[in-house]
Amino acid sequence: MSTTSNATIHQGMLFQWLRWRMLRNATRVVMNQSRLRVFTIFLCSAFIWGSLFAISLFGFRELRIRWDFPLDGSLMGLVFDVLFVSLSALLIFSTGIILYSSLFSSAETSFLLSLPVSPDQIFAYKFQGAIAFSSWAFVLLASPVLIAYGIRVNDGAPWYFYAVLPLFFFGFVLLPGSLGALICLLLVRFVPRNRKQILLLTVAVVAVLLGLWLARRLPSMRDLFASRDWVDQLLDEISLVRSPFVPAHWIADGLQAAAKREPSHMLFRLALIWANGLFLYVVTAWTASKLYRPAYNRIASGSSLAREFSDSWLSKWLGLFTYALSGVWVVHFPSGARVQYHPGTGEGRLDRAVNRLLFFLDAPTRLMIVKDFRTFRRDPAQWAQVVIFICLIVLYFSNVKWFYEQEIGKPFQNGISLLNLVATCFLMCAYTGRFVFPMLSLEGRKFWILGLLPLPRQTLLWGKFAFSAVGCLLVGEFLVLFSNLMLQTPMHIIAVQMATMVVVAVGLSGLSVGLGACIPNFRESDPSKIAVGFGGTLNLVAGLLMVILVVGLMAGPWHYFLMARAAAAIDPDYRALIEAGGFIAGMIVGLLATIVPLRAGARALVRMEF
């Protein structure tokens, strides 16, 4: 073996030593300082896992016994295909975004690049971390569902179904993970100058293409459910997902083969996943060995606030878009046209709009909100995820509308409306957990700047709370109104749902900002890692519980009594009492979820040393 190969293997082992040593030391520190924290993490994870397992077990039993649904049939295979395609898309995005932060903007990367380490080794080390961060939720969420499926399918799946589950998981995450990493490297290397715009353009193009595909497909699907062989038509319509070239189909088919006791077919699919996953990883690592250093150089060399665009129409469009988005950048065109906007103060049109919108707040709080807003919109890794979230939920609502128009959904109007409210609230919960909870931690070691400002420290908290509550209210109320108007829900139900959304948006904001101040993580600079840490997980579980309670109490009775049978079975006076009582109880829960964490957070902030 050559010296270079020896050195490469040596470096790879050294990085493994580094990772395990840091994990060991961190575990020791946590176990010595706070066993309660470790216990709570395990409890939260076990609670989420157990709840999902119980729901899945119940759901699969209902499907098989009550609905006579064949769990080993092709329709179940289709469900798995769609599930794994969705997970693939999420893994591609999340791995790419995490890897972008860890490869190009972390202090550790600069340190490693100054050592005699080959770039593909740094990439491999960072890739493993990104894959672990982006796929742990996948394992946590998918494993209880699939184990429940194994228990309920036929007379129970054979033992090797459970044995190969982790092998399928780990092989599968290599494919979307490597693809996300490859896209990240190519984007940064070849389109670094206008990368924010390119990223947005990519998201917009994907959304438009998806919309066009749906628009073209919908007419041909009009008679889908009217026909007797609708299952076959449905399979035809989404044949792309079931294509033998789609890796998501390999894992779906392989797991079904295991459940149906077809070990040879299962092993073929498993080998296919691992062979392709490892091949794609090797291709990505080889690409990293060629592109990583030049890509890092381009990122590090292009951090000027003033951007130049060529005279082409695309560049002009991008330039004007940049101007509209940030306001601060100076846009030059070679033809002489020049757009300049407050380069001295950094204040943009959007900032001034937000400032005006918050006229009722005092000046320091407004200042804090505008600062947070500016930081947020200048980070594409942050707002691109919000755009993806909203695109997905709007697409979901559009599909619901179509089902409703086909007379398929009308009997379920009431239920679908409530389901939409729950989906929107869960979206808000994910948003506040991912973006609002880490806000205070992200002040990091610069916290002393804010801490020394001549204003009460609580103002920092109120500013972040107001920023989050206003953002959640705007997006949440729009989504609730949009979905209900499409479903032609009665006006009083729309009013109840909008009031519920106010309580949920304010409650989630209070919870995330308050807990973010109580359990800050000033050592971590990557918000996605803060969100999946102990505090982030606790915040997510608390948020989900609050959403279930508030929606159940405030909107639940109204939707329940909208059903004719339920309404007929109860005295109108009692019905009004239950509706009003639930509404008030929900508001109290929301109020508590807002005030208690915020007060605790304010106290923690006042006591905080820095």
116 vs 454, beta carbon nearer another protein: 116
Q: Select the residue interacting with another protein from 338, 356, 523, 565 (CB under 8 A).
A: 523
Number of amino acids touching another protein (CB under 8 A): 37
Chain centre distance of CA 420: 18
300 vs 580, beta carbon nearer another protein: 300
Q: Is 300 one of the binding residues for another protein (CB under 8 A)?
A: yes
Return the bridge partners of 332, or none: 308, 338
Angstrom distance (rounded) from CA 268 to CA 271: 5
Angstrom distance (rounded) from CA 241 to CA 84: 9
- Are the C-beta atoms of 318 and 194 separated by less than 8 Å? yes
- Are the C-beta atoms of 382 and 376 separated by less than 8 Å? yes
Part in contact with another protein (CB under 8 A); list of ranges 19-27, 246-254, 264-272, 571-579: 19-27
Q: Is 108 one of the binding residues for another protein (CB under 8 A)?
A: yes
Angstrom distance (rounded) from CA 360 to CA 574: 41
19 vs 457, beta carbon nearer another protein: 19
Smallest distance from the beta carbon of 337 to another protein, in angstroms? 16
Tally the C-alpha atoms within 13 A of residue 542's C-alpha that lie toward its C-beta. 28
Q: Give backbone dihedrals phi and psi of 332, rounded to 5 degrees, phi first.
A: -110, 135
Q: Which two three-digit tokens encode residue 459?
A: 């103002």
Q: Which two three-digit tokens encode residue 478?
A: 């729009």
Residue 195's Cβ-count burial label (10 Å; 0-12, 13-18, 19+) is middle
Q: Select the residue interacting with another protein from 16, 33, 86, 110 (CB under 8 A).
A: 110
Secondary structure E strands in 117-194? none
Smallest distance from the beta carbon of 310 to another protein, in angstroms? 13
86 vs 304, beta carbon nearer another protein: 304
The CA R_g of the chain, rounded to the nearest whole Å, is 26
**Buried residues in 13-43 as b, exposed as e (16+ CB within 10 A):** eebeeeeeeeeeeeeeeeeeeeeeeeeeeee
Q: Is 129 one of the binding residues for another protein (CB under 8 A)?
A: no
Part in contact with another protein (CB under 8 A); list of ranges 23-31, 50-58, 248-256, 548-556: 23-31
Q: Select the residue interacting with another protein from 40, 45, 74, 118 (CB under 8 A).
A: 118
- CA-closest candidate to residue 293, choices 426, 104, 462, 507: 104
Q: Is 116 one of the binding residues for another protein (CB under 8 A)?
A: yes
Q: Is 10 one of the binding residues for another protein (CB under 8 A)?
A: yes
Angstrom distance (rounded) from CA 464 to CA 470: 10
Q: Which two three-digit tokens encode residue 92?
A: 């591609």
Cβ neighbours of residue 313 under 8 Å, at least 6 residues apart?
none
Smallest distance from the beta carbon of 303 to another protein, in angstroms? 6
Q: Select the residue interacting with another protein from 152, 189, 196, 307 (CB under 8 A).
A: 307
Secondary structure E strands in 382-508? none
125 vs 583, beta carbon nearer another protein: 125
Q: Is 16 one of the binding residues for another protein (CB under 8 A)?
A: no
Q: Is 340 one of the binding residues for another protein (CB under 8 A)?
A: no
Q: Is 29 one of the binding residues for another protein (CB under 8 A)?
A: yes
Q: Is 345 one of the binding residues for another protein (CB under 8 A)?
A: no
Q: Which of residues 162-201 bind another protein (CB under 8 A)?
A: 193
Q: Is 33 one of the binding residues for another protein (CB under 8 A)?
A: no
Smallest distance from the beta carbon of 305 to another protein, in angstroms? 9
DSSP state of 329: -
Smallest distance from the beta carbon of 197 to another protein, in angstroms? 15
29 vs 580, beta carbon nearer another protein: 29
Smallest distance from the beta carbon of 306 to another protein, in angstroms? 6
Return the bridge partners of 338, or none: 332
Smallest distance from the beta carbon of 286 to another protein, in angstroms? 16
Q: Is 18 one of the binding residues for another protein (CB under 8 A)?
A: yes
Q: Is 592 one of the binding residues for another protein (CB under 8 A)?
A: no
Q: Select the residue interacting with another protein from 59, 263, 294, 552 (CB under 8 A).
A: 294
Angstrom distance (rounded) from CA 606 to CA 195: 40
Part in contact with another protein (CB under 8 A); list of ranges 253-261, 295-303, 507-515, 542-550: 295-303
Chain centre distance of CA 154: 34
Angstrom distance (rounded) from CA 36 to CA 38: 5
Contact set with another protein (CB under 8 A):
7, 10-11, 14, 17-18, 21-23, 25-26, 29, 107-108, 110-111, 113-118, 193, 293-294, 296-297, 300-304, 306-308, 332, 523
